[in-house]
Amino acid sequence: MSVLCCPAISVPEHTIDMEQTLELARQLHPHHTNLSLILRLIKNTGVKKRHLVQSIEKTLHHPGFEERNLTYVHEAKKRLPAVIETALKNAQVTAEQINAIIFVSCTGFTMPSLTAWIINNLGFRNDTRQLPIAQLGCAAGGAAISHAHNFCQAYPEANVLIVACELCSLCYQPSDLNIGNLLSNGLFGDALGAAVVRGQGGRGMRLEHNGSRLVLGTEDWISYAVKNTGFHFQLDRRVPGTMEQLAPQLRAMASVHDWDVEQLDFYIIHAGGPRILSDLSHFLQVDLDLFEHSQATLTEYGNVASVVVLDALRRQFVAGLPDGSRGIIAGFGPGITAEIVLGTWQGNGLSQ
């Protein structure tokens, strides 16, 4: 049975806090007809601090999509080696022992994928399989874990490296005054994450079952409009209420395997916003305190897209759990899609 080892997380050095975010909104959009609503929505995110890959001055300046994407590539290549090295160390494997790399990101674009650069520059074998995932957004973290598990099921002695790189601030659009876009300016942050799934050995979360669920009729609720200026984030006002639809999907997926999703020991949930967590707590009848690691990620880093579930899981490793504890990883994203993984705790396996 494959094991998901302790993730490694890296956040950039530049930061912005809630008060700075609110003040910028006031300065940049003093005459916006919905300014009071926008300020209230940003306050309600509960995001105390976010990390940015550039200074706030550079972030607010839009040099064009081409230069933005060049910045994405440059910053990714600069920051990926350290987080990958730590993930390999946590799993007690080397680059040469990795059989596949799953790379997830929705905030920049390269072809070939950055998997090719990783293999060429960080000591991986040239027969390492590559699986880039670009269009699942925040759900991609959960999807990557599922695909890694499936690969190890097919090749039981394999090891899979998951890499997530989300530089959300590079999608800032100063001319887009849509309420959803302005809310995203106070919600999303930058982060990178990596983790290894081992087909044999390793300590961490033993992966047992996985599944994907799509909420029909919601494909335009979370989306990008791709324009000359790059990716414009679009968020339907109905998105925060989707947990009423997704909670039964989580319950149904778990019940197929005779698991009770309301009686688990740990929950690693994509924290898209505070209502996601509170509503899921309500509809699953689960104590909100069981989402504490997801909440901590949201509070300290903001919504870091596909990296959220990796960071929340890292926090669970630090907190520790008794062996045999049952839990769920659930990532939510465009579609609207839920990517779900069920597993059992099998030792912390933290590197010192």
Tell me the C-alpha distance between 167 and 300, whole Å. Answer: 16
Instruction: Supply the pTM of this predicted model.
Output: 0.94
Does any domain span residue 351? no
H helix intervals, 113-271:
114-121, 140-154, 179-184, 243-256
CATH number of domain containing 328? 3.40.47.10
Query: 191-246 pLDDT, tens per residue?
Result: 999 999 999 999 999 999 999 999 999 998 888 888 889 898 888 888 878 888 89
Within a 10 A sphere around the Cβ of 263, how many other Cβ atoms? 10
Specify whether 179 is located in the same domain as 280: no
Instruction: Give the range of the structural domain holding residue 322, as residue numbers without chain letter.
Output: 204-346
Q: Average pLDDT, stretch 118-132?
A: 98
Q: Which residues does 196 contact at the CB level (< 8 Å), separation at least 6?
A: 4, 5, 87, 88, 90, 91, 93, 98, 159, 160, 161, 162, 202
How many domains does the chain contain in total? 2
Specify whether 28 is located in the same domain as 157: yes
Among the three residues 182, 198, 214, which one is the final residue of a domain in this structure? 198
Specify whether 193 is located in the same domain as 210: no
Specify whether 217 is located in the same domain as 141: no
pLDDT of residue 350 exceeding 80, the answer is: no
Within a 10 A sphere around the Cβ of 322, how many other Cβ atoms? 7
Among the three residues 198, 221, 249, which one is the final residue of a domain in this structure? 198
Closest CA to 70 of 12, 110, 103: 110
Specify whether 309 is located in the same domain as 184: no
Query: 250-277 pLDDT, tens per residue?
Result: 999 999 999 999 999 999 999 888 888 9
Question: pLDDT tier at 117 (50, 70, 90 boundaries)?
Answer: very high
State the catalytic residues. Answer: 138
Tell me the C-alpha distance between 2 and 167, whole Å. Answer: 29
Does any domain span residue 280? yes
Does any domain span residue 50? yes
- Asked if 280 and 291 touch (Cβ cutoff 8 Å), the reply is yes
